Structure 1
């Protein structure tokens, strides 16, 4: 009893004031989305057009052509025959169990999200590595992005852009981009100072040092960040399906609401297969580039 009476004395904001604050903030955001929603949507139109085109390309192309392209890409990146055979087997099983279209849709959105995350994340990571002030500003933002439940930032994105592919991509990128930013920053900061001083002594400009020394040496760490980003993007597939992103997430969502265990299991395993393929390919590519960089420096 003593505990509960102590809690009741805890200073609380007046309920009506709290309600007023919430109403004001909700109203402001609603007004903002009504005022600028169309403008922001038109800004994302090229991205939407590209997403639709890329998804159609994967879904409507003959399955064998897509399979040859994916296997060829995996082999070029990894130089592993075992992994290439694994990819062929995995995709044949996915097709055999009738999940080809959904897998292609998921593959298209994950590929676009990963490329955008790299295009945005690596430059931010480089800026953080260059300036402690930028790092002190960006780090708390990344902390919030990584700990905020995905459902919370789905709300403003959906209010602003409605339901569909683009809000899905934005939500996935917000969730998945922190690792690539953090590890780009870390990788560049860990580059040996003596190597940089030697490059400067040879008359390298800051840009030459960045492209010729820092990025190649930080490559394995940056690849680890990209790898983490891909895994997190795939983890968001089911949540993104709640706001209209078609793919493997929707059957999983359907199986949760209707308690279809096998449907959920098969589609879940297809997501796992994609994750393993992405993971092994990016790791093998990172190892190859690391050997190449080390070999170059020994020479």
Structure 2
């Protein structure tokens, strides 16, 4: 029975050796490929800098007007538009304008990257059950993994800065747009697809002219959830140098500055509500339009 008492020690030793091997191999990988990854993500860094400069260097009345026009044309609701304007004026009055613009620019970049990656992956999943079977477990892990864990490999590869923060945010926020793109395309009525086949439509024509337009409201719901999850990562991303509203909140936590934390938290909530209400209203408008067209 001695092996029963030795087994935990053996298991611990084996596990320790496994962890050591993984850590050493990953360090070797980062030393060998770190510069290559930095080069690959250089366009993302330039895009982020351009977006941030655009938001910060544009006079605030113009930014306010553009956001108000976007809110109005997307929602056609004066209450949502008024809330957006009043919230941004309050944010500016409390001296949080620059941090808010940095946060909005980061969310914009993260959303664009998530759309560019997530929608094609969702389309591939919708067209292949095998692809769906492979990707779904990966998405399950991405959605259940603690958000802090995403920062570890990204920081080891790229160091501390904006680009690692954007990558971590995208990894955390991308699952909803992939899942709902897949769901929206699969939910398209088969009778409509059969009618498209009867007219001799190719697979690309069916996707472009039938499936994507009909799935657009569901895809918009995925974009809405991606934006909300990206905003939820703002404070965590501040831990690795992402500028914006998350850094003052992090400072408030570390130094017990109650007022700074509350004011910046208020700004994050206002931005979240604006993005949420505008994108939801636009999704509802799309749904009604499609019901009229196909009804």
Question: TM-score by structure 1 length?
Answer: 0.94
Distance 1:211 1:13, change over 3 A: farther
- Check if 1:177 corresponds to 2:174: yes
Q: Which residue of 1 aligns with 2:272?
A: 275
Off by >6 Å, runs of 4+ in structure 1: 7-10
Distance of 2:13 and 2:131 partners within structure 1: 39
Distance 1:31 1:218, change over 3 A: same
* TM-aligned CA deviation for residue 10 of structure 1: 7.6
Q: Which residue of 1 aligns with 2:186?
A: 189
Any conservation in 1 of the 2:160–2:240 contact (CA below 8 Å)? yes
- Check if 1:43 corresponds to 2:40: yes
Distance 1:10 1:28, change over 3 A: closer
Distance of 1:13 and 1:212 partners within structure 2: 61
* TM-aligned CA deviation for residue 85 of structure 1: 1.3
Distance 1:15 1:96, change over 3 A: same
Q: Where in structure 2 are the equivalents of 1:12-91 lying within 5 Å?
A: 13-91=10-88
Q: Which residue of 2 aligns with 1:223?
A: 220
* TM-aligned CA deviation for residue 9 of structure 1: 8.7
Q: Where in structure 2 are the equivalents of 1:128-147 lying within 5 Å?
A: 128-147=125-144
Q: Which residue of 2 aligns with 1:3?
A: none
Distance of 1:105 and 1:119 partners within structure 2: 21
Secondary structure (helix, strand or coil) at the match of 1:242 reads: helix
Distance of 1:118 and 1:98 partners within structure 2: 32
Task: Describe the superposition over 1:179-217 as per-residue Cα deviations: whole angstroms up to 9, x where unpaired.
Answer: 110111111111111111011111111111111111111
- Check if 1:284 corresponds to 2:255: no
Q: Which ranges of structure 2 fall in alignment gaps of 5 or more residues?
A: none
Task: Describe the superposition over 1:200-249 as per-residue Cα deviations: whole angstroms up to 9, x where unpaired.
Answer: 11111111111111111111111111111100000000000000000000
Distance of 1:219 and 1:13 partners within structure 2: 55
* TM-aligned CA deviation for residue 92 of structure 1: 0.3
Distance of 1:163 and 1:101 partners within structure 2: 21
- Choose from 132, 145, 148 the match for 2:145: 148
- Check if 1:167 corresponds to 2:148: no
Distance of 2:56 and 2:103 partners within structure 1: 10
* TM-aligned CA deviation for residue 18 of structure 1: 2.2
Distance of 2:5 and 2:142 partners within structure 1: 34
Q: Where in structure 2 are the equivalents of 1:204-215 lying within 5 Å?
A: 204-215=201-212
Q: Which residue of 2 aligns with 1:253?
A: 250
Equivalences, count: 292
Moved more, 56-65 or 29-38: 56-65
Task: Describe the superposition over 1:23-44 as per-residue Cα deviations: whole angstroms up to 9, x where unpaired.
Answer: 1111111111011100110111
Secondary structure (helix, strand or coil) at the match of 2:240 reads: coil
Distance of 1:101 and 1:9 partners within structure 2: 60
* TM-aligned CA deviation for residue 46 of structure 1: 1.2
* TM-aligned CA deviation for residue 59 of structure 1: 1.1
Q: Which ranges of structure 1 fall in alignment gaps of 5 or more residues?
A: 1-6
Moved more, 99-108 or 18-27: 18-27
